[in-house]
Amino acid sequence: MGVKVYGPPMSTCTARVISTLEEMGAEYEVVPIDFEAGEHKQPPHLARNPFGQVPAFEDGDLMLFESRAIARYVARKYKSSGPDLLREGNLQESAMVDLWLEVESQQYNPAIAPIVYQCLVIPMRGGVADQKLIDANVEKLGKVLDVYEDHLSKTKYLAGDFFSLADLSHLPYTHYFMATPYASLFESRPHVQAWWQDLSSRPAVRKTAAAMPTSR
């Protein structure tokens, strides 16, 4: 029996899991969760994810949540038939994958997520974006991207000259960020821009992104 992903495919964190499944060539089923109806806060979903968020992930008896943990599981489970996204056979390479996975999680995500939320999600719900918050995070993101620019001038991908889960984990928010007025933050940094072009042109990434509409 195949694995199941519970969540809307357009959700950033659900897309993180779907893109990993696609990269690994795994069979999977997406079970949509209706955000607008608050389905993620109802008992059936809370039994899958007690934090009431998406995605959740089911593989037989195993129920997982937290997209970054699910992605690791998928990368490990399908390793023999797909690419080596974690490099766990090599101590130095896996250390670099883990490092840049944490940089995404602790530095990149906190700066980029509020910009995406304010520019795209809030207006979609009929609200007014907080420009001060956007400006503060654009400044933060710029500093983070300077570190990426310097790093990517030395290696082709984040963990080294090999594509890894660290690169892939940046897809969801970056995809939506490119639909905000701030995409120039990437355009003005040639190595970051080239890295994003490369990442976003991968077949698995294009397929995942097709379910993530950016026009309102």
- Rounded Cα distance between 98 and 92, Å, is 10
CB of 151 to another protein, least distance (A): 7
Nearer Cβ to another protein (16/202): 16
CB of 21 to another protein, least distance (A): 15
Is residue 101 part of the contact set for another protein (CB under 8 A)?
Answer: yes
Give, as ranges, the residues between 57 and 96 that touch another protein (CB under 8 A). 62, 64-66, 68-69, 72-73, 76-77, 88, 91-92, 94-95
What DSSP letter does each residue of 52-96 carry, written as one string?
A: --S-EEEETTEEEESHHHHHHHHHHHTTTTS--SS-TTSHHHHHH
Helix (H, G, I), strand (E, B) or coil at 29: strand
CA distances from 11 to 97, 102, 119, 173, 175 (A): 24, 21, 15, 10, 11
Nearer Cβ to another protein (18/64): 64
Is residue 151 part of the contact set for another protein (CB under 8 A)?
Answer: yes
Sheet of strand 62-65, all strands in order from the earlier edge strand to the far edge: 28-31, 3-6, 56-59, 62-65
Is residue 107 part of the contact set for another protein (CB under 8 A)?
Answer: yes
Q: Which of these segments, 21-29, 127-135, 146-154, 175-183, binds another protein (CB under 8 A)?
A: 146-154
Q: How many residues bind another protein (CB under 8 A)?
A: 29
Nearer Cβ to another protein (98/167): 98
Give, as ranges, the residues between 24 and 53 that touch another protein (CB under 8 A). 50-51
Q: Is 10 exposed, middle or buried (0-12, 13-18, 19+ CB in 10 A)?
A: middle
CB 162 within 8 A of CB 100: no
Owner of token pair 């490369």: 198
CB of 178 to another protein, least distance (A): 24
How many other C-beta atoms can be found within 10 angstroms of the C-beta atom of residue 79? Answer: 15
Footprint of another protein (CB under 8 A): 50-51, 62, 64-66, 68-69, 72-73, 76-77, 88, 91-92, 94-95, 98-99, 101-103, 105-107, 144, 147, 150-151
